[in-house]
Amino acid sequence: MAADRANPVIRTPHGAVRGRWERDVAVFRGVPYAAPPFGANRFRPPLPPAPWDGVREAAAFGPTAPKPPYSEAFAQYLADPAVPGDDCLNLNVWTPDPAPGARLPVFVWLHGGALTRGSSGVPVYDGSTFARDGVVFVSVNYRLGVEGYGLFPDAPANPGLRDQLAALQWVHQSIGAFGGDPDRVTLGGQSAGAISTGALVAAPQTRGLVRRAVLQSGAPEITGRDKVRRVVRRMAGRLRIPATAEAFAAADRDQLLRVQADIGRLSSPILGGPAFGIVVDGDLVPRDPLDALIDGAAPGIDLLTGWTRDEYRLWLVPGGLVERVDRLGAVALAGAMARCRCGSEVPRGYRALNPDAGTAELVGQLVTDHLLRNPLHRLAEGRRDPSYVYEFAWPSRRPGMGACHALELGFVFDSGDKPDARKLAGEGAPQDLADAMHGAWVRFVTDGSPGWDRWGPHHPVRIYGDGAPHIEHGPRDRELALWTTPTASDTAPTPELRSVVRRLRRNGALRRH
């Protein structure tokens, strides 16, 4: 259907939607890609939305998935708007040319938030900057927490990941009408969105749906089924109901969120704890996605991957946890050893390489390497197709935050003028750094190369920090080499180390807020 300048109207497979022109970009918000996941659809794989007659208004962001709010400690840094309503399986499209035949590259974005928070409506994820530069941008809402990643004996696993697959299938079928090319789709995300991206790229069901992928501060991983079951059982115990999908579906939704948030306070990226995650399900996730990708599960797909220099500071600075970990000293290092399943040689090596670092910095970098840099190195090293690696090193103007987790988002999206971007970056974020980083992402989505050498024997890493972006070769190689020792790879946590972790969680020393 032709789109007129004042009021663009596009026909999707389920009905027509009317968007808005905003600064030469056509925007369609809250477009359903699946039916509301409640009632008979609760805890079930997504179903197509019911067709509608007439033209559906698509001017405002749609409902967000049920989620608890951030604590005050985190809310001062991160925005997480909530929109009420059951029709939460929706997406948004920004396009510079909403007409069939434009065949523009497409970037599909999966938000972060530990699979329990976040949405496509976070202001920093403003897709207009990508559309301004010739990319059709799509951002997706999906089920979170127990609704999306609870594991029950009477329901399929990973419904939130299946939502994301349904959104990808919608894009493949529908994006041509918005001016996009279904054969030039880049899937990307940050944190939990990057973990999800890795799982989807490795999945057999996405063959032909994705051409490139971006993994920001998140590596492909799986969570043990027993760990997720323990979260569900703890919730069931608090609610005094059976640990089944049927019983959870009958429970009060707000009470579910309160119990989930309370149990989630014991979880921490530093020491683990109860958490939801993607599990091997024998179908969409037949095996560990990292192993699958290294073994060639996604041939022909280019990767852009990276991390921030001080990821851990978002995990520790809110609530004054840096000082608390520094006071714990050797006890915190022992807990990190248990979290990373490594022997004492690894933290001793980190201390030798960084003699002036405090305990919190050593623990933070140790866990960051375990969760992010080490697996992303393995991924780049083990694939035949091009991989490009970056490090974001510009320090926030907010005290103590450094180049923390999620700080790079305002630069990737060139949305640093948003008040919500300044919550994390502070005032005075350099526009030239945003120009460089956003431009690299646009180039990668458009033609597969962000503008520097692909990963190879010399380990080129693009550094985005103070001053001009530049290449360093193997900037983390000395630390990551410590993980290749037999002790690092083979030693499981001892009962004593597990006891340390339990004590730290009980006394709240390293809780996630």
Residue with tokens 């109860």: 274
What residue type is assigned to position 378 of the chain?
A: R
More confident residue, 30 or 6: 30
* Start-to-end C-alpha separation, the chain: 48
pLDDT value of residue 36 = 98
Q: What is the 3-state secondary structure (H, E, C) of 304-322?
A: EEEEECCCCHHHHCCCCHH
State the DSSP string of 208-237. TT-SEEEEES-------HHHHHHHHHHHHH
pLDDT value of residue 500 = 45
pLDDT-based confidence at 486, cuts 50/70/90? very low
Query: Lowest-confidence range among 146-155, 256-265, 284-293?
Result: 256-265
Q: Is the pLDDT of residue 318 over 70?
A: yes
pLDDT value of residue 509 = 44
Mean pLDDT score of the chain:
92
* 357 closest CA partner among 332, 326, 336, 335: 326
Q: Is the pLDDT of residue 329 over 80?
A: yes
pLDDT value of residue 502 = 53
pTM of the model: 0.93
72 is catalytic: no
Tens-place pLDDT, residues 115-150: 999 999 999 999 999 999 999 999 999 999 999 999
Q: Is the pLDDT of residue 501 over 50?
A: no
pLDDT value of residue 147 = 97
470 is catalytic: no
Sign of torsion over alpha carbons 260, 261, 265, 270: positive
Percent of the chain clearing pLDDT 70 (strictly above) = 93
pLDDT value of residue 512 = 38
- Of 147, 311, 391, 479, which one is the catalytic site residue? 311
Query: Lowest-confidence range among 29-33, 71-75, 279-283, 445-449?
Result: 71-75
405 is catalytic: yes
d(CA 494, CA 485): 18
pLDDT value of residue 274 = 80
Tens-place pLDDT, residues 444-475: 999 999 999 999 999 999 999 999 999 999 99
pLDDT value of residue 212 = 98
And the tokens for 44? Answer: 């079930």
- Of 172, 405, 438, 459, which one is the catalytic site residue? 405
Does the domain at residues 1-222+276-301 carry the CATH identifier 3.40.50.1820?
yes
Query: Lowest-confidence range among 64-78, 156-170, 222-236, 325-339?
Result: 325-339
- Of 191, 196, 267, 268, which one is the catalytic site residue? 191
* 438 touches 421 (CB < 8 A): no
Tens-place pLDDT, residues 336-365: 888 888 988 999 999 999 999 999 999 999
Tell me the mean pLDDT in the region 47-75: 96
Q: Residue 486, exposed/middle/buried by CB under 10 A (0-12, 13-18, 19+)? A: exposed
Tens-place pLDDT, residues 373-406: 999 999 999 999 999 999 999 999 999 999 999 9
Q: Is the pLDDT of residue 496 over 50?
A: no
Q: Is the pLDDT of residue 39 over 60?
A: yes
Residue 154: partners with Cβ closer than 8 Å, 6 or more residues away: 244, 245, 246
Containing 464, the helix (H) or strand (E) segment is strand 460-464
| 3 state DSSP class of 203 | coil
d(CA 176, CA 106): 10
| 3 state DSSP class of 10 | strand
Residue 51: partners with Cβ closer than 8 Å, 6 or more residues away: 14, 15
Tens-place pLDDT, residues 168-186: 999 999 999 999 999 999 9
pLDDT value of residue 246 = 97
pLDDT value of residue 268 = 76
Q: List, in sequence order, every residue forming a beta bridge with 268; answer none if it has no partner.
A: 272
d(CA 349, CA 415): 39
pLDDT-based confidence at 508, cuts 50/70/90? very low
Tens-place pLDDT, residues 226-262: 999 999 999 999 999 999 999 999 999 999 999 999 9
pLDDT-based confidence at 271, cuts 50/70/90? low
Domain ranges of the chain: 1-222+276-301
